[in-house]
Amino acid sequence: MSSPSQPAGLPVPNPSISFWHSEPNAFLVGHRTTPELPAEADIVIVGSGITGASAARFLAEDARAKGKSIVMLEAREACWGATGRNGGHCQVLPVARALDVTKFEVLNYNAVQSYIAENDIPCEWRSLNGCQAHFSIETFDAVRREVAALKERDPELGKIVTVVTNKDELAKHRVSKAVGCTLTSAAASLWPYKLVSFILERLVRSGALNLQTHTPVERLEPASSSSPLATLHTPRGSIRARAVILATNGYTSHLLPSFADLIVPVRGEMSSLLPPPGAPRLPNSYGLCGLPGQPAHRDDYLNQRPYEGVPNPAGHYMFGGGDGAAHHKTIGVWDDSIVDEGMASWLRKRLLEHMELGGETDGLDELQATHQWTGIMGFSRDNVPWVGAAAEGVWMSAGYSGHGMPNGTLCGKAVAELLLAHEQGMSAAEAEQHVVEKVGLPRSYLITKERLAQAREMPTVEQADATGTVGNHAVHGATAGESRWSS
C-alpha cells in the first residue's frame, strides 16, 4: 500500500468500529434481498454509501427506469464505508472553489435538507452555521481574499458566508484563540448512516432495489464489442449488467486501475468524545484550520450530538482529523482496520487546548473517547469529483476529496441521469449539457478526455499534500487548506 499510484484493494473485512454503526439498522444487517446473486440485471450499483443510495433512489423515482432491475453490491454491511465513518457534516465550503461548485454544493445541501424534512428521517439533522476557525494568519488572510472575491462575483451567494475577527464574537463561537473565522449558513450536522440506511431500507422494501451485502466485486469487465454486457465477478459468482454505476470513492481504482493516479485512497481518523461535565452544546459545526502543531493546510473538524431527544443522548463531540500527528502513512492507504494512535491521541487532547468548551475542565488532560476509528476517503488529483462514463457500460461518481456529503446526493442523481440519457440514445454532449442544466452539476466534474489529460499534468495527490496544496488549490494559487473528511 505504499505507492499512491497503486490500485486500491478491496475494503478490508475487519474495519475499525465507527460510532455511527453503534445503532445498526436491523433490517439491513447481513441483508440479501434474494438468497442467490442474480445472474443478470439492468443496472448494478457498486457501493452503498450516500452516492450509491442516492443513485438508486433517483433511478427508482424516474419513469425512464420503470421496470428495470437494479442490484446493489456492497463488500461489507450496507453503508459501512466512508459515509458510515465520516465526520457527520453536510457543510458547504464556499472558498477556494469555482462559483458553479459553490452553487452546486448549496443545491445539494438544500436537497438533503428537504428530503430529510419531507420524510421526517430521524438522523439528528441540525441546521447551523459552519464555523471555519483559522489559527494561521497566512491561511486566514487567503480565506478573507477568497470570501471577498466570492462576494464580488456573486453578491447573493456571498451572503452565506461572513468573516469574523472580533475577539468577543470569536469567544461566542468558542474559538477566541483563533486568528479569525468564517461562518457559513449552509451547514448541518447529522448521523449520516441513519440517512442512508433509511433510503436503502425504503428502496428494498418497495421492491425497487435488490441489495446484496457482503458481496465484494473482485473484478470488473466492462462491456465490449464482443460482449454487450459488463460482468462483475464476486466470490458468490458473477453478475452481468447492461450498465454499472461505481459509487466506490476511495476504492474505485480496484475496479478501474487506470484511475489509480486520479482517485487516491486516503485514510482519515475520527472519534466520538464525551464532553466535560456540564458543558453546553456547541453552537456550530467546526473546522479548526492550522492548529498549532499541525501543518497550516491541515484541518480538524467537529460537531456535537444532542443532549436530549435521541437514543444515547450523550452530546458526543464528533471530532476528526489529526493528520499531522499520524504515526502511519495515510495517502495511498485503503486499510481502515487500523486506528493510528498518534492521530487518536491528538483528537482526545486538542479541543481542551484550543476551544472554550465550557463545563468542568479543571484537571482534564484529554477527553474520554467512546469510539475511535478510521475510514477511507478518495482524493481527486484535481480536487474535483469524477462523474460520468468511465468505460464501456460503466458509469461512476467518485473522488470527493473528503467532501462527499455536500456533493454525493446530486452527484448520484447526475450519474443516474447520464446513464438514462445514454440509454435513450442521447449523445454524450447532449447528456452532459442536460445534467449541467437540470441537476446543476459543475462542468468541471464531468469525465472527459481533456480533463483526464489535464489532471495528469498536475502534481500527484501525494505531492500536493506535501506542499500544502490540493488539486485546484495549486492551480488557483490559494493557500487555504482543504477540509479533510469533514463531510
DSSP codes joined into one string, 357-412: --S--TT-SSPPEEEEEEEEEEEETTSS-EEEEEETTEEEEE--TT--TTTHHHHH
How many other C-beta atoms lie within 10 A of the C-beta of residue 212? 23
Number of domains within the chain? 2
Q: Are residues 207 and 335 in the same domain?
A: no
Average pLDDT on 391-413 reads 97
Which CATH number do you get for residue 295? 3.30.9.10
DSSP strands (E only) in 247-368 = 263-273, 285-289, 299-304, 317-320
Residues 6+ apart with CB under 8 A from 307: 281, 313, 314, 315
Rounded distance between C-alpha atoms, residue 81 and residue 61, angstroms: 25
Q: 444 and 414 in one domain?
A: yes
Indicate whether 215 belongs to any domain.
yes
Residue 5: inside a domain: no
Residues 313 and 275 in one domain: yes
Q: Do residues 371 and 279 both lie within one domain?
A: yes
In a domain, 205, yes or no: yes
**pLDDT exceeds cutoff 50 at 467:** yes
pLDDT classification of 258: cutoffs 50, 70, 90: very high
* Least confident among 244-258, 425-439, 470-484: 470-484
Q: Does 272 lie in the same domain as 335? A: yes
C-alpha span between 460 and 4 (Å, rounded): 8
Average pLDDT over residues 175-199: 97
The proportion of the chain whose per-residue pLDDT surpasses 70, expressed as a percent, equals 95
pLDDT at 460 over 50: yes
| Closest-CA residue to 38 (of 213, 253, 212) | 212
With 50 as the cut, is the pLDDT of residue 76 above it? yes
Mean residue pLDDT of the chain comes to 94
Confidence (pLDDT) at 470: 58
Phi, psi angle pair for 336, to nearest 5°: -100, 20
What's the CATH number where 460 sits?
Answer: 3.50.50.60
pLDDT, residue 137, reads: 93
Boundary residue ending a domain (333, 356, 378): 378
- Confidence band (pLDDT; 50, 70, 90) for 455? very high
Instruction: Yes or no: say if 191 and 123 are a contact pair by the CB < 8 Å rule.
Output: yes
| Domain with 171 in it | 124-189+265-378
135 occurs within a structural domain: yes
Asked if the structure places residue 314 within a domain, the reply is: yes
Any alpha helices (H) in 247-338, and if so which ranges? Answer: 252-255
**The three cell numbers locating residue 140:** 486566514
Beta carbons of 36 and 238 less than 8 angstroms apart: no
- pLDDT tens digit sequence for 125-175: 999 999 999 999 999 999 999 999 999 999 999 999 999 999 999 999 999
For residues 245 and 269, state if they share a domain.
no
Same domain (yes/no): 176, 281: yes
Q: Does pLDDT of 103 surpass 50?
A: yes
Domain end, chosen from 329, 346, 378, is at 378
Q: Where among 378, 407, 442 does a domain terminate? A: 378
Instruction: Give domain status of residue 106, yes or no.
Output: no
- 119 found inside a domain: no
- The DSSP secondary-structure symbol of 19 reads G
**Are residues 274 and 182 part of one domain?**
yes
How many CB atoms neighbour CB 440 within 10 A? 18
Predicted confidence (pLDDT) per residue in 287-326, tens digit: 999 998 888 778 999 999 999 999 999 999 999 999 999 9
Q: In the predicted model, what is the mean pLDDT of residues 182-202? A: 97
Instruction: Specify whether 274 is located in the same domain as 389.
Output: no
Q: What is the pLDDT of residue 396?
A: 98
